[in-house]
Structure 1
Amino acid sequence: MSTETGPAPELTDGIVTLRAHTALDADAIVTQSLDPQSQRWTTVPRGYTRVQALTWVQENAAAWQDPRGKRSWAIEWVDGSGQSRLAGTIDLRPGASVTVGELGFGLHPDARGHGVMARAVRLVCRYGFDTGGWGRPLTRIHWRAIVGNWGSRRTAWACGFTMHGTIPESHPDPDGGPTALDTWTGSVAAGDPLRAGTPWYAAPVTEADGIRLRPWRASDIDAIEPRDDDPTHWMPGRSVLRRETFATWRLQREERMAEGTAVEWCVADAQTDRALGGVVLFNRQGPIDDVAELGYQLFPSARGRGVASTAARLAIAHALRPVAEGGLGLRRLVAETAADNAASNGVLRGCGFREFGREHAVDELADGSWGDGLHWELLP
């Protein structure tokens, strides 16, 4: 197959059209480049000008003449008023070989929230897998974004990209700082369906008996209290809520929901909305299918007044509620506790869980001895 050179081929799905950039796009390119979100997540030059936009348009056209050049398209979209306008830019960049590409994209602020970019990504991926760009059809297309760029990650997820993890210190700081930023990375292969392959969960707000379950917020750090016990006896140390690790803890919980492996709630006082602890439904092995594990933890001042029981019941109700009614539609719930954790065991019994197994000498105690662990299940 010959190397792809020439003007950018037009691609369309009937709603979104990808075409070559022109000088008429310059003003919209400037608006997009000066947008705070564009500047936060990309290395677009600060103080971007129309002259820079026109130069960039020319460079994009010239790159199509280069056998190993970047393949860029303007994204054209018909907005709600029926006006055709520039919605952003998308490109394929040469990867590790002529059969591998790297995807890049940016959306104009006026086009966000309409599913435009997911359509554009699917068009480019199909073009890459069918035609290529550098002489042969592609076998894999990679995606990367600065950690925290949830809009970009959601687009990649919606288009079937598999997430491969986080690469530490792998992207220059867009603001020119001395510290490199972490990036998420993912890819899609030829033959993969270009649609989400796993759920992306959210933490729906629900409340009862003065307790509210809601998403975690950055400001909840102010409510976190020092523990008055050894929490690592009751749960993995990395799961314990601490002020000094809360930002990382919260990011990891958001990532788990984006991967479909958990639903994480903040347990809050319904009257004051102050955080009291957390409750979670999760799967240790991968995306939640028809079974999930229940977990919870409370700050010391919230204990002894039924908060954990109410929070657990709310989470259980969401887990067992049919999917058609907004729940997870699970077949079975499980839980694990230390045998000597009387409070947690009481919560589970009160919620209808039954003990079905005991593991001996699995929990190391502070004095160096080993305690037993209990396994619980709940069937609707």
Structure 2
Amino acid sequence: MTSAYAGWQADAVTAEPQPTSPADDQPLPVPVLTDGVVTLRPHSLDDADAIVEQSSDPESLRWTTVPRPYSREDAVSYVERNLEDWAAPDGTRHWAVEWTDSLGRPRFGGSIDLRQGAAASVGELGFGLHPAARGHGIMSRAVRLVVDHAFSTPVWGVPVSRLHWRAVVGNWGSRRVAWATGFTFHGTIPESHPDPMGGPAALDTWTASITPGDSRSPRDPWLAAPSIEGERIRLRPWRLDDVDAIEPRDDDPTHWMPARSVLRPDTFPTWVHNRQERMAEGTGVDWCVADRESDRALGGVTVFSRGGAITDTAELGYQFFPSARGHGAAKEAARLAAGHALAPTSEGGMGVRRLVAETAADNEASNAVLRSVGFVEFGREHAVDRLADGSWGDGLHWELLP
């Protein structure tokens, strides 16, 4: 539904009601909203060329269902329809997003709209940004302006109690705007949107919402996997072409970790996406451990939480391909990841106070990795690890403090 591109930070809202429509010079009940940096105003026929540019852009085509090809006539019809909607009591409320570029020129930056949801007290938010306006924090400012306006004005005759956001899964720009403006993420709705590229299958969508009492800033951190250089390895973000480095396992990995966490070529795209989701939710950071010289993936290391966003305590995990074992890569990766997790946020770290880990008691290689980093065993659980022969093994609990 939305085709947003990154942007954040807005200030106070001011409104100037009833500007004049450039199309017919008749008053329209369109409030002009501004925070001093971004201005939301009625669309104008002067915006038509920029609307064509935005609607023909590859990112817009990828995430929205705009006409293809998109003509100037389409843009003119869009502007006229937007202005007409303001006259309808239950119509969609459209604004053009205007910003000032580095040369001090006012520019068309995109569009944002409020459409009525399941009731007049519920709205749905849609937005899209012109390519030239991306990367300047514009759309998050625009969203905050519209959200504050919706919750302070009876848009469709009654107070608005909730605004919904929805985007096709993979539209990270749109999701980051929703995150930056305080929306609560509710999950993924399977097969709920037509493919904008014309494919036969329906696509999944993300959904989130915001209410009047919610903050207009992020609820949880959006974590990232920074590149960290070691002596023989580097930690870096995963890439889809790392699939070529995945090797067949010479053991039963489900003895050491959940089956869904094991790196496999056939599930790798989904595995990477799930790790991106964890970082967006603030619940984990996942690195590819790569050889420093060749940059070939050797395995992975993660810092994560099992119970919501990472705050005070996090857990360390790792897995390596058979050819990468026994050369010290796991010990170095664990040391680098633990150091980043425990470093203060003021120094670029995650600010975790306590790091923990769990291993099978008979996993000597993993236990040696933890000891080398400074982890201390603090507990043993008996008969919790199901072994291949049907028997049960013990599990160990470890911790590391700064």
Secondary structure in 2 matching 1:356: strand
Q: Give 3-state SS (helix, strand or coil) of 2:98's partner.
A: strand
Counterpart CA distance in 2 for 1:115 and 1:137 is 29
Aligned position for 1:372:
394
Amino acid aligned to 2:263: L
After TM superposition, give the deviation of residue 265 of structure 1 in Å.
0.3
Q: 1:206 aligns with which of 215, 220, 228?
A: 228
Residue 311 of structure 1 aligns with which residue? 333
Pick from 371, 375, 382: which aligns with 1:353? 375
Q: 5+ residue gaps in structure 1?
A: none
Q: Unpaired segments of 5 or more residues in structure 2? A: 1-17, 19-26
Matching residue of 2:10: none
The partner residue of 1:236 within 258, 272, 282 is 258
In structure 1, the partner of 2:5 is none
User: What is aligned with 2:249?
Assistant: 227
How far apart are residue 6 of structure 1 and its match?
4.5
Q: How does 1:162-201 map to 2 (within 5 A)?
A: 162-201=184-223
Indicate yes or no: 2:334 matched with 1:323: no
Picking from 128, 136, 146, the partner of 1:124 is 146
Q: Give the one of 385, 395, 401 matched to 1:363.
A: 385
Q: Report SS of the residue matched to 2:217.
A: coil
Separation of aligned partners in 1, 2:204 and 2:359: 35
> 2:93 matched to 1:71?
yes
* Higher relative contact order, chain-length normalized (CA < 8 Å, sep 6+): 2
Equivalent of residue 76 in structure 2, options 43, 49, 54 = 54
Q: Distance in 2 between the 1:143 and 1:374 partners?
A: 43
Alignment correspondent of 1:17 = 39
| Distance in 1, Cα, partners of 2:159 & 2:243 | 49
SS in 1 for 2:234: strand
Question: 1:204 and 1:194 mapped to 2: Cα distance?
Answer: 26
Asked whether 1:155 is paired with 2:177, we answer: yes
CA deviation vs aligned residue, 1:111-137 (integer Å, no higher than 9, x gap): 000000000000000011110311122
Q: Is the partner of 1:151 in helix, strand or coil?
A: helix
State the shift of 1:7 in Å.
Answer: 3.0
In structure 2, the residue matched to 1:293 is 315
SS in 2 for 1:350: helix
Determine helix, strand or coil for the equivalent of 1:133.
coil
Residue 315 of structure 2 aligns to which amino acid in structure 1? E
Counterpart-to-counterpart distance in 2, 1:137 and 1:109:
34
TM-score norm. by structure 1 comes to 0.98
Distance between the aligned counterparts of 1:137 and 1:122, measured in 2?
17
Superposed CA RMSD: 1.1
Helix, strand or coil at the partner of 1:168: strand
Name the CA distance, whole Å, in 2 between partners of 1:97 and 1:228.
57
Name the % identity: 68
Distance in 1 (CA, whole Å) between partners of 2:187 and 2:243 is 26
Name 1:251's counterpart in structure 2: 273
1:132 and 1:247 mapped to 2: Cα distance? 44
Deviation at 1:64, TM superposition (A): 1.1
Preserved CA contact (<8 Å) 1:7 1:61: no
The aligned amino acid for 1:158 is: A
Give the match's secondary structure for 1:60.
helix
- 8 Å contact kept, 1:269–1:275: yes
* Structure 2: distance between partners of 1:120 and 1:355: 51
Deviation at 1:105, TM superposition (A): 0.2
Equivalent position SS for 1:264 = strand
The Cα shift of 1:350 comes to 1.1
TM-score of the superposition, structure 2-length normalised?
A: 0.92
Question: What is the CA-CA distance between 1:353 and the residue it aligns to?
Answer: 0.5
Return the alpha-carbon distance in structure 1 between the equivalents of residues 85 and 389 of structure 2: 67
**Counterparts of 2:44 and 2:154 in 1: how far apart (Å)?**
23
Residue 31 in structure 1 maps to residue 53 in structure 2: yes
CA shift digits 1:239-293 (9 cap, x unpaired): 0000000000000000100111111100000000000000000010011002110
Residues 156-200 of structure 1 show CA distances to partners (whole Å, capped at 9, x for unaligned) of 100011111111111100121110111111111111110111101
8 Å Cα contact 1:333/1:379 also seen in 2: yes
Report the residue type matching 2:343 in the other structure: R
2:351 maps to a residue whose letter is: G
